[in-house]
Amino acid sequence: MEPISPLPQHVAIVMDGNGRWAQRQGKPRSHGHQAGSEALRRAVETILERHIPYLTVYAFSSENWNRPTVEVKQLLDLFMKALTRDIRELDEHGVRVCFIGEREAFSRPLRDGMRRAERRTAGNNKLQLNVAVNYGGRADLLRAARRLAEQVQRGELRPDQIEAKHLAGELFMADIPEPDLLIRTGGEQRLSNFLLWQLAYTELHFTDVLWPDFSAEHVDTALRDFARRERRFGGLGQVQHA
């Protein structure tokens, strides 16, 4: 098979459709989240095989607290399990795991688990996996704005000196390239408050496939779709000048 080129350096995924996947089989939504965590393991494997250095996944949004308490609890229990079971495997595969989002909202054991996972994998460099938990794009921007205001207040920065790089540098995901490709499964065509700043020029790929069904072939379909895109960044690209 033809190699896919160019490949994105950073892929972001809104992993949506777990609940509907379960409901279609007459099972509880938690069954879908369980299957969704398996789909994530497969996706990480495929992204590693394609030598893509950055993957950012939306696991729990700042609005997902609006779900019934039992579902939130099931999701958090699932994270806790993943933190103990999957981290070892990710570490062995050279994956560096980072969490983005407001982790203060989580229980002490969960926060400790996240910190341990980050420390354990900090030296790995095959793939950086950013897991967005209690993440919201607006909250990310608000937090960055507050931090810049504090720098101004301390006299370290003047308001007229603030540039895009200052704001970008205060976001949860500072210092890594912005996503080239965003995949959203589950059929909805919206961002749902994911990386609002960083997605400004990202190519968007929407698919009806529900997240638990997302396979290596679906990853490749998205990568091929990306390879066909012409990115212009507001310029003229390959278009002939008149």
**Catalytic residue IDs:** 16, 64
**Distance (Å, rounded) from C-alpha 142 to C-alpha 136?**
10
What is the closest distance, in whole angstroms, from the C-beta atom of residue 145 to Mg ion in the complex? 28
Name the segment binding ligand IPE (CB under 6 A); options: 59-67, 122-130, 169-177, 215-223.
Answer: 59-67
125-135 residues labelled b (16+ CB within 10 A) or e (exposed)? eebbbbbbbbb
Q: What are phi and psi of 163, to 5 degrees?
A: -120, 170
Q: What is 84-95 written as a DSSP string?
A: HHHHHHHHHTTE
**Distance (Å, rounded) from C-alpha 72 to C-alpha 64?**
8
Contact, 95 vs 126, CB < 8 A?
A: yes
**Distance (Å, rounded) from C-alpha 141 to C-alpha 127?**
25
* Largest Cα span, the chain: 62
Binding mask 95-134 for ligand IPE (x = CB under 6 A): ----------------------------------------
Binding status of residue 184 toward Mg ion by CB under 5 A: no
- Residues binding Mg ion: number (CB under 5 A): 1
> Cis peptide leading into 53, omega within 30 of 0?
no
Name the segment binding ligand IPE (CB under 6 A); options: 53-61, 92-100, 171-179, 219-227.
Answer: 53-61
- Choose the one of Mg ion, ligand IPE, none that binds residue 61, judging by a C-beta under 5 to 8 angstroms depending on kind: ligand IPE
Binding status of residue 75 toward ligand IPE by CB under 6 A: yes
Contact, 158 vs 151, CB < 8 A?
A: no
User: Which 138-197 positions form the footprint of ligand IPE (CB under 6 A)?
Assistant: 186, 188, 190, 192
Retrieve residue 109's tokens. Answer: 């054991």
Binding status of residue 15 toward ligand IPE by CB under 6 A: yes
By CB under 5 A, name the one of 16, 140, 180, 203 that touches Mg ion. 16
By CB under 6 A, name the one of 9, 34, 64, 221 that touches ligand IPE. 64
Name the segment binding ligand IPE (CB under 6 A); options: 54-62, 114-122, 221-229, 233-241.
Answer: 54-62
Binding region for ligand IPE (CB under 6 A): 14-20, 58-61, 64, 75, 186, 188, 190, 192
